[in-house]
Amino acid sequence: MIRQITDGPYINHPTYFLQSSFFPGDREMFFTSYRTGEAQLFEISLSGGETRQLTRGAPIHPYSAALHPDGTTLVVTRGAELWAIDRATLQERRIFTYPGAQLGECSISPDGEWLTAAFARQPARGLIVSRFDGAASSIIPFPRTVIHPQFHPLEPEWIEFSGDPAPRMHRVRRDGTGLECLYEHGNDEFLVHETFLGSTGDLVFTVWPHALRVMDWTTRAIRTIAEYNAWHIAPDRAGRRILCDTNHPDEGLQIIDAATGARRQLCLSGSSNQGSQWRKSSYALAEDFAQARHTLSWMENAVDTVYGPQHTHPHPSWSRDESLEALCQRRPHAVDQHGIDLRCPVRRDSQAGAMDLSQAGRQRLRTHDAAGKFVGAVLLAA
């Protein structure tokens, strides 16, 4: 069964796929919407469809929202600052500020005590680390662009992060010691979207577009899970299944068995999957961004056509009980092929195999596409 969740002539999308966009109980989810003219955070009831705006004022980093382990506090990035929002009262608290910097999305340690985020403050780059209560913070410099830092799920003193361009995978302790590259490689080996394989503590990553692999956190031994074009990857908590989208070719959403590499299709994505670099098997360099009239870091771009726009990618992620999956879809307009047309569906894992939009859903898409303004979300349940 497919249910549309949001609609309207504006962009809506869940948070970044390294986070779940669902609140505890999976009855509501939070998402970013541009319906006010700038990126703000909203929540929506998955049963009644009631929508509530959670942030106001200065726009948020559109992919920064992360739910604290307390289940009631959301953390977002605004420019050079990290903010905590109480879901019940909407009271906001500034946690951290780094004047003159641009911060990326944050990661919250499993115990909820620490936050980390990438920063760019020309010419400096690196990580910020802050206590959740704001009582202490530090800067960890790095000589290149940093993106997507993540706390280790079992050892919260460790942070894994991506360097851009190659080599990609690094780790450092939150006190700034122990900085090391986990795997040396050149730009012609396109490692992307690494994350932790659930509670195993190991790292799973894509060698785009050739293979899905896992690295032992302790020994650094690497094993190929599947020779497949897994794109954005989201392991379940146990580390047994990996939810992913695909591109070039787009074979929809897949669930891959982490032990055997066996996979099955959940549904077709219906996304436009934009970004010129995804047609290649190497990292974008300065000349690639110059050709696209952008700077080196996608985090600093208003619109990125090398790795994005990000809202054109499915970015699948699990619900809290792992029975639903959230993803973005952007279908091009019938006339304007570069117009924004976004859906943010939520799909249930089904033993029935591949599923696509219902006939009614496809008709609704055609109607709104022809009008050039359909943007929304659907819920798919088995």
pLDDT of residue 329: 64
Q: In terms of DSSP H, where are the helices of the chain? A: 286-291, 359-371
- What CA–CA distance (Å, rounded) separates 257 from 255? 7
The contacts of residue 249 (CB under 8 Å, 6+ apart) are 229
Residue 377 has pLDDT above 80, yes or no: no
Q: Are 105 and 94 in contact (CB under 8 A)?
A: no
Average pLDDT over every residue of 77-103: 98
* pLDDT, position 328: 76
Per-residue model confidence (pLDDT) at position 355: 32
Are 311 and 11 in contact by the 8 Å Cβ rule? The answer is: yes
104: left (phi over 0), alpha (psi -120 to 50) or beta: beta
What single DSSP character describes residue 222? Answer: E
CATH code: domain 72-189 is: 2.120.10.30
Supply the pLDDT for residue 36.
95
Comparing 70-79, 203-212, 277-286, 370-379, the range with the smallest average pLDDT is: 370-379
CA 282 to chain centre: 21
Instruction: Compute the mean pLDDT over every residue in the chain, rounded to the nearest whole number.
Output: 85
What's the whole-model pTM score? Answer: 0.85
- The percentage of residues in the chain with a pLDDT greater than 90, rounded to a whole number, is 70
3-class secondary structure, 276: helix
The answer to whether 29 touches 21, Cβ cutoff 8 Å, is yes
Judged against a pLDDT cut of 90, whether residue 30 lies above it is answered with: yes
Q: 270 falls in which pLDDT band (50, 70, 90)?
A: confident
CA angle 366–367–368, rounded 5-degree value: 95
**Weakest-pLDDT range from 20-24, 208-212, 317-321, 330-334:** 330-334
Q: What is the pLDDT of residues 318-368, one digit of tens each?
A: 999 998 888 776 654 322 222 222 233 444 443 333 333 333 333 333 223
pLDDT value, residue 8: 75
CA–CA dist 9, 253 (Å, integer): 26
Q: What percent of the chain has pLDDT over 70?
A: 82
Q: Among 88-92, 96-100, 286-290, 322-326, whose mean pLDDT is lowest? A: 286-290
Contact 126, 169 (CB under 8 A): no
**Side-chain half-sphere exposure of 207, counting CA atoms within 13 A:** 19
> What would the DSSP string read from start to end of 21-32?
-BPTTSSEEEEE
| pLDDT computed for residue 104 by the predictor | 97
Given pLDDT bands bounded at 50, 70 and 90, which one contains residue 158? very high
> Is the Cα torsion angle 176, 220, 104, 133 positive or negative in sign?
negative
CA distance 313 to 308: 7
Is pLDDT of 88 > 80?
yes
- Identify the pLDDT of residue 345: 42
Residues 6+ apart with CB under 8 A from 107: 18, 66, 115, 116, 117, 149, 150, 151, 159
Q: What is the pLDDT of residues 99-155, one digit of tens each?
A: 999 999 999 999 999 999 999 999 999 999 999 999 999 999 999 999 999 999 999
The mean per-residue pLDDT over the stretch 166-190 comes to 97
Say which residue, 264 or 382, is predicted with more confidence. 264
N residues, the chain: 382
- Grade residue 7 by pLDDT with cuts at 50, 70 and 90: confident
